[in-house]
Structure 1
Amino acid sequence: MPTNPPTFPVLHPTDPQGRPESRSGSSNERELRLLKRVSQQDRDAFRELYFIYHRRLSRFISRLTTRRDLADEIINDTLWTVWRKAGDFRGASQVSTWILGIGYRQALTALRRAGAHSTLDEAAGREFAVADDLYAVDETRDWLDRALASLPIEQRTVIEFTYYLGHSCEEIAVIMGCPVNTVKTRMFYARRKLKAALSQLANGA
């Protein structure tokens, strides 16, 4: 592999190529073909894979940190790893599971290096400017964000993958590199802590 990464394209909110795709069997086959070409240092294939995954990774990472610079660093490190390690993929999971697993590990490393607690505290302390008629909805969303921010990152990640990205416990286990029962245990404790945190916030604690 070359020592220099390919140039990362810039995605804009209206760029149709940046939209996440459905996880159908045909899309996985397409991504397998792209990944094989990437392993052969095909920059056009990497660009196409980048367009498929940049926004999906951004959606996930941005829920773990409000720091745009840190999120961009994690996403770029993830895709750079995909470029370097494409030849290591053995097909034991879907391409999406493999790439999100890389993203998860990069996020853990970056958040711990930056100080995960301060990053999550920043998310917990965000203020929302809302119109009066939307106050109740946004207040509830604010409570949920604060409650999620109070969870340990492993428990929070399980919630994000399940409810925001739609992954099964089996897929999450592969992404996080742990047994399925560990995912279920983290989900159990995450739900219990969320319930307690939301109750405290609702009561003005």
Structure 2
Amino acid sequence: MIEESIIEKAKEGDKQAFRTIFHYYEQKVFSTAYFIMKDRQHAEDVVQEVFLKVYLKIHKLQNNKVFEIWLYRITVNLCSSFFRKLNKFSTSSIDEKIMVEDFLISEKFSLPDNILIRKEFQEKVMEVVYSLPVKHRTVITLYYYNNMSIKEISNIMGCSEGTVKSRLFYGKKELKKAFDMEEEDKEDAIYEF
């Protein structure tokens, strides 16, 4: 999390402080928007709108400690607004689904075979996540990719912690079901020979 003094300077109109905030959070906001929106261009549009809104409204933020929650609330709300405007889901190529290299390849998966296995696993996870309703997908994204607590997600989404837990449970159940079915398919394929 960024230092509160930088947030305070940005509230006072310091452009360098705002740039620091932007550079610190740009990729995180993009990743969140991308995983919710399923479309690179829409996610980039959301990022622009988020930081424009932050720039224009940061002076109204009363408690610097909640800056990050406020930022992600803006992100989630703008994603919802985009969905309403589009009134449909866009499809994206499988390459775009594998977007943030940080999520795909860590040092422990740096061998070519491991990279391929990791990439295939990531593709499968993202397919399942993208098939979830937007509210469930948003909770999964905030919880797993942004490492937020249930309480933080509750604040961002404006719903109860119980609702967040329920959506998280549903998302996990769908992921488990998808991977259990895949394992059964592999076992069936073994018996066919």
TM-score between both structures, scaled by the size of structure 2: 0.75
Q: CA deviation at 1:99?
A: 0.8
1:91 aligns with 2:72: no
Taking every aligned residue pair, what percent have the same amino acid on both sides? 24
Residue correspondences, number:
172
- Cα RMSD of the aligned pairs, angstroms, is 2.8
The worse-fitting range, judged by mean Cα deviation, of 131-140 and 38-47 is 131-140
Does 1:138 pair with 2:138?
A: no
CA 1:36 to 1:82, structure 2 compared with 1: closer, same or farther past 3 Å? Answer: same
Structure 1 pair 197–112 and aligned structure 2 pair: CA distance change class (3 A): farther
The answer to which structure has the higher helix fraction is 2
Instruction: Give the 3 Å change call, closer, same or farther, for CA 194–43 of structure 1 in structure 2.
Output: same
Preserved CA contact (<8 Å) 2:7 2:64: no
Gaps of 5+ in 1: 1-22
Q: Any conservation in 1 of the 2:69–2:156 contact (CA below 8 Å)?
A: yes
Give the direction of change, closer, same or farther, for the CA distance of 1:132–1:85 in structure 2 (3 Å limit): closer
Output one character per residue of 1:74-132: Cα deviation in whole Å (capped at 9) or x when no partner.
Answer: 0010011111111221218521111111111111211332345334xx3679788xx98
Q: Does 1:186 align with 2:158?
A: no
| In 2, Cα distance between equivalents of 1:127 and 1:44 | 33
Greater mean alpha carbon deviation, residues 88-97 or residues 181-190 = 88-97
Matched, 1:33 2:5: yes
Distance 1:56 1:194 in 2: 23
Alignment of 1:151-166 (within 5 A): 151-166=132-147
2:32 is the counterpart of 1:53 = no
- Offset at residue 45 of structure 1 (A): 2.1
Are 2:46 and 1:74 equivalent residues in the alignment? yes
8 A Cα contact 2:37 2:79, kept in partner: no
Gaps of 5+ in 2: 99-110, 187-193
CA distance in 2, matches of 1:71, 1:186: 22
Q: Distance in 2 between matches of 1:201 and 1:188?
A: 20
What SS class does the counterpart of residue 94 from structure 1 fall into? helix
Q: 2:128 aligns with which of 132, 136, 147?
A: 147
| Residues 139-181 of structure 1 deviation map (CA, whole Å, 9 limit, x = unaligned) | 2222111111110111111111111111110111111111111
The normalised TM-score by structure 1 is 0.71
1:63 partner SS? helix
